[in-house]
Structure 1
Amino acid sequence: MASLVVMYGTPADPAAFDAYCREKHVPLAKTIPGLRRYEISSGPVMTPAGPAKVHLVATLRFDDLAVIQNAFASAEGQATAADLQVFATGGADMLIFDSEDV
């Protein structure tokens, strides 16, 4: 299994961000080929020391890294990536990795 984790910084208007993310961005992202699962954080994002500088975390799961690469080369993947510019006013950091059960 491989994951793409997107950490969204605190947006200029959190309520507008949340509405756009749920109503527009998530449905768009769910069209990405090869996507197996899409999760978002609920409630405040925390660190062991207290609140994080992250407003929302999205985790997208795929079969492997090659599927992620192909997914974001697709028209749907490119449209989803471009959509970040529309609503992610706090920026977004992305991590991509394979994982294994241990």
Structure 2
Amino acid sequence: MAKLMALYKKPADKQAFDSYYLAHHVPIAKKIPGLRSYEISSGPVASPTGESPFHLVALLSFDSLAAIQQGMSSPEGAAAAADLANFAQAGADLLIFDTKEV
């Protein structure tokens, strides 16, 4: 299984971010080909030492890194990437990685 993790930095208007993210961005992103599951954080995002610079974490699962690349290269993936400018003005860090159980 491979993951795409999006770490969204704290926006100026959290309520506007949440409203747009759930009503507009999630439906766009859920159309990405190869997407197996889509999870988001619930409540504040903290670090072991307290507060973090992040407002929301999204974890998207795919079968492989190649599936992530194919999905993000599709028109649906391009639409999801382009949509970031509509709500993530504070910025977002995107990480892509393979996983294995240990």
Question: Which residue number corresponds to residue 64 of structure 2?
Answer: 64
Q: Which runs of 5+ in 2 are unaligned?
A: none
Question: Which residue number corresponds to residue 19 of structure 2?
Answer: 19
Deviation string, structure 1 residues 37-93 (Cα, Å, up to 9, x no partner): 000000000101001110000000000000000001000000000000110011000
Q: Which runs of 5+ in 1 are unaligned?
A: none
Distance in 1 between the 2:78 and 2:47 partners? 31
Question: Which residue number corresponds to residue 50 of structure 1?
Answer: 50
Q: Segments of 4+ in structure 1 off by > 4 A?
A: none
Percent of paired sites with the same residue: 59
Question: Which residue number corresponds to residue 39 of structure 2?
Answer: 39
RMSD value, Cα: 0.4
Alignment of 1:90-101 (within 5 A): 90-101=90-101
Paired positions, count: 102
TM-score by length of 2: 0.99
Question: How far is the alpha carbon of 1:12 from its aligned partner?
Answer: 1.6
Alignment of 1:75-86 (within 5 A): 75-86=75-86
